[in-house]
Amino acid sequence: MKKITLNLLLLFGVIGFAQTDNSEFDRMVEAEMKSASATINFRANPNTQNYDISYHELRFSVDPNNTTPYISGVVTTTFTALSDMSVVTFDMATALVVSSVTMNSSNLTFSQSNYELNINLPATLATGNSATVVITYAGSPPQAEGAFTRGTHSGTPVIFTLSEPYGARDWWPCKQDLNDKVNTIDVYITAPSAYVSVSNGIEVSQTVSGANKTTHFHHNYPIPAYLIAIAITNYQIYNQQGGLGTVASPYFPIVNYLYPESYASATSATQLGTTPTIINLYESLLEPYPFRNEKYGHAQFGWGGGMEHTTVSFMGSFGRSLIAHEMAHQWFGNKITCGSWKDIWLNEGLTEYMSGLVVENLDGAPLFVTWKTNKINSITSQTAGYVYLQDSDLTNVNRIFSSRLTYDKGSMVTHMLRWKLGDAAFFQALKNYLADSSLAYGYALTGDLKSHLENVYGSSLTEFFNDWIYMQGYPTYTITAQNWGAGQAKITVSQTQSHASVSFFEMPLEIRLTSAGGANHDVVVNNTVNNQEFVVPVPFVVAGVTFDPNKHIISKNNVATLSNESFDLDQTISVYPNPAHDELNIMMPTTTQLEKIEIYNTLGQLLATHQTTDFRIDNLSSGIHVMKITTSEGAIHKNFIKK
């Protein structure tokens, strides 16, 4: 068991729903809220905190033909004592009746009440020692949370599970508090031989006995109880292949379990046909698929949206954006699970951004700009809102699953980190985060991602995280551009904030300068203070200015204008130090070429001529002198004092 101590409520990879359009996205998030609302105040069962589970063998017998949902099972669990214990407690619905519990083939006494199974051990199990119990049970799983569903599709019966967040206990005895992950599981599903069974991991075997068939799946990666799933119906299997196919990372199977009536449409190029392309893109951007020694795939089920069960996402439909979102959860949510409700953006924000990268890479930059624009419009529809949740939010399911903040702002903040760090550093930091042995196949908090970003970036990101993750609101920019001599423009940046929690948003800003003929020249300025001025080179006379043309920044109501004020060469050239004792320096724009400098006394007499921007004045008498500076942009006069 991979054991992690978590703060506050313990979290998991929540149901991920892709944003194909706003109405669908809202319906998906609403369904997600409903699934969690009944259990949002759930706390870790204190009676399950004294042991770690390292292994489950799960043997389930189900029959979709039974109109009443029913399951019988034999669950073998190996656990290690974290403190001396004489009773081991599992989370289990009381409606499931246990008929026997054994250890080393000897019967143990037990009791059931209040969603708990309490097993009396034959002797005290000392700290650090391990034991294995075998639980035999049967019953009709409770239907209130929909964790175990019997339904139909086109008249054919189907059974599927969806245990997020706390539904696994409704259909098998487990440790439901999510503060650790089981190292490995074996799942055996016995059902009528006419049906196809699905579960996590790789299918090991099928054994037919009379009218029934037992299908064995093995999953050899850490997994929490809520991500263990089964489904049984007359699935038609559609096989694909994923992976980049290098020597170090060979191909792996993509196995899709489809309702026969949906097979033709689901296997089209625009639906499941996109799966290998997307998973290969993710491998190229992040790292090899985290469970590539087994499989990836999808199983059709009766809920809207999808659920990212490890190695097999359960899907209500097969739109590309939903495929992309659920698949990305295999990295962000399943391999590394966010460690508290406060950190939910680590799952949903990062995952939703990955679906945006599919748009960028498969559809091109213009549609990616549209994708980001839609996110920004959603985020800025209100003036406030944190990405990182507050303590007061933790019982508000609507806030935890906020499409505007958790999904949209979380994904755009992820993009802004990419914009600030640059592609190479950003993607390397994500790779390092996913490869971190202290996080991989376990849990992470926001500070863990921040540390990896900072390590690659080489500078602190505290200011960024304070402004964009922990505080609220967004900036509004006023941009003024002015032609500033031949080959230059001066850009002035001003900013106001929508919420008082942030006094100033520091960010690199992209500004597009346009010529009268329609040519574009994009410049990036690092805005760190208000009313900041930048002089930038530009290959033409500027006729227009656009702020953030590629939508890198969360902002609203920005104004970008071209100033009609004429260029003043005198303002661009300065003399220092002034007064001066023995040496004088001239500072001018890099695009302005010096021709000569002439120095006169107050009587108009020429005293010296220079061709460099720094020169000595030892031979001049004390007092006021006049300097004529002749440049490629014209001539100006400056006074200086010789000490």
pLDDT over 70 at 47, yes or no? yes
- Average pLDDT rounded to a whole number, residues 459-478: 98
Query: Residue 35: pLDDT band by 50, 70, 90 thresholds?
Result: very low
Q: CA 230 → CA 148, 171, 462, 575, distances in Å?
A: 9, 11, 43, 78
Q: Write down the pLDDT at residue 109.
A: 98
| pLDDT band at residue 479 using 50, 70 and 90 as cut-offs | very high
Q: What is the pLDDT of residue 600?
A: 87
Rounded to an integer, the average pLDDT of 226-252 is 92
**Mind spelling out the 3-state secondary structure of 554-568?**
CCCCCEEEECCCCCC
Question: Distance (Å, rounded) from C-alpha 445 to C-alpha 338?
Answer: 6
Distances from the Cα of 248 to the Cαs of 244, 245, 294, in angstroms? 10, 8, 16
The first and second tokens of residue 312, run together, are 């097999």
- Looking at residue 343, its pLDDT comes to 92
* All domains in the chain, ordered by first residue: 2-338 (2.60.40.1730), 475-562 (2.60.40.1840), 572-642 (2.60.40.1930)
pLDDT in tens, 173-183: 999 876 779 99
* Share of residues in the chain with pLDDT > 90 (%): 74
pLDDT digits (tens, 9 = 90+) for 101-149: 999 999 999 999 999 999 999 999 999 999 999 999 999 999 877 899 9
Whole-number average pLDDT of the chain: 90
Q: What is the pLDDT of residues 147-206, one digit of tens each?
A: 999 999 999 999 999 987 778 999 999 998 767 799 999 999 999 999 999 999 999 999
Span 305-333, average pLDDT: 95
Question: Which of 170, 149, 145 has the alpha carbon at shortest distance from 39?
Answer: 145
What six digits make up the tokens of 332?
């962000």
pLDDT at 39 over 60: no
Question: For 457, how many CA atoms within 13 A lie in the half-sphere containing its CB?
Answer: 19
Q: Does the pLDDT value for residue 511 go beyond 90? A: yes
**What per-residue confidence (pLDDT) applies to 20?**
41
Span 37-44, average pLDDT: 48
Does residue 1 carry a pLDDT above 50?
no
State the distance between the two ends of the chain, measured CA to CA, in whole angstroms.
79
Q: Where are the beta strands (DSSP E) in 323-449?
A: 337-338, 443-444
Residue 591 pLDDT level (bands cut at 50, 70, 90): low
pLDDT per position as a tens digit, 282-315 = 999 999 999 999 999 999 999 888 899 999 999 9
Binned at pLDDT 50, 70 and 90, residue 572 comes out as confident
pLDDT score of 552 more than 90: yes
Instruction: Inform me whether the pLDDT recorded for 351 exceeds 50.
Output: yes
Give the residue-averaged pLDDT of 444-467. 98
Q: Give the pair of three-digit tokens for residue 27.
A: 């319906």
Q: DSSP class of residue 135?
A: E
Residues 6+ apart with CB under 8 A from 120: 86, 87, 108, 109, 110
Comparison of pLDDT for 586 and 461, the residue scoring more: 461
Cα Rg of the chain, angstroms: 32
Q: What's residue 131's pLDDT? A: 98
